[in-house]
Amino acid sequence: MANLIETNKIDGFSVYGVQMVDYTLEGVAGKDFGTAVALACFASSAAIEAEATAFADILRARQQKLSELADAKVSVGNFIAKLPTEDPESDDTVSWWLQFTDGETMERKAWANTMRTVMPRYGLSCPIRSETVMFGDVVEYVRRDDLENARANVDYAMDMEDNDMQQDMITMQGLIGKRDNSFSAAAKIIKKVGGTADSMLRSIGQ
C-alpha cells in the first residue's frame, strides 16, 4: 500500500488550531477522510483476497495429494489381498509375468504402475523387484514386508497431510471472515460519510 494514501495539509485552513487536511488517493488529490478510510478497507480486502486465493491453491494441491495417495494405498492393499493367508512370511510375494496380457496380469501391472508413479512423487516407495528366468522371460513381484511398510508409510503421509489440510482450512475460514469484515467496514464508512454530508447540507439549508 506504499503511496496508496497520502495526507496533504490544506494551507491556511485550521479549526480551533487543528490543521485541516485532505488526501491523495492513488494519485488523485482532494479526497476526504471517509473516502481515504474506505479505500484503505478495500485495499485490505483485496490483499486478504489474494492471500485467500493462495491458500485455496494450497488446499487444492493437498486434496490432489490425498487423492493420489489414496490410489496408491488401494494398489498396495490389492497386492496384500493376493498374498497367501496361511503361515505368512515376510518374504511372501505376489508376482506377474511382463509378457502376459491376461486380465489378472494387466490388473497387477496397473497396481504396480500406480505405486511406481505416485509414491516417489511424495517421497515414498515400495520396491517392485524383477527377475529374468528361462528364455529371457521377466517376472516382477512384490514382497509382503515391503508392502506392509509401504502401507504404513502411506497411512502416515495421509494422516499428516490431512492434519495440515485441516489447519489450512481453519486459516482459510479466518481469511474469508477478515475479508468480509473489511468489505463491511468499508460499506459502513461510505454510508456514514454519506449520512454526515446529507446532515451538513440539511443544516446549511435551514
Residue 42 lies in a domain: no
Number of domains the chain contains: 1
Share of the chain above pLDDT 70, in %: 71
pLDDT bucket at 25, cuts 50 / 70 / 90: low
pLDDT at 16 over 80: no
pLDDT at 27 over 70: no
pLDDT for the residue 11: 63
Residue at grid coordinates 486459516 = 171
pLDDT for the residue 194: 57
CA distances from 95 to 79, 105, 125, 132, 182 (A): 9, 9, 18, 13, 61
Q: Using one digit for the tens of pLDDT, what is the confidence trace for 51-69?
A: 888 888 889 999 999 999 9
pLDDT for the residue 135: 83
Residue 198 lies in a domain: no
Q: Which domain holds residue 124?
A: 53-176
Residue 23 lies in a domain: no
pLDDT at 205 over 70: no
Residue 111 lies in a domain: yes
Dist CA 149 CA 193 (whole Å): 66
Residue 37 lies in a domain: no
Q: Using one digit for the tens of pLDDT, what is the confidence trace for 107-156?
A: 999 999 999 999 999 999 999 999 998 888 999 999 999 999 999 999 99
Asked if residues 116 and 79 have their Cβ atoms less than 8 Å apart, the reply is no
CA distances from 87 to 79, 91, 112, 144 (A): 17, 11, 25, 12
- Look over the chain and give the mean of its residue pLDDT values, rounded to a whole number: 82
pLDDT for the residue 197: 46
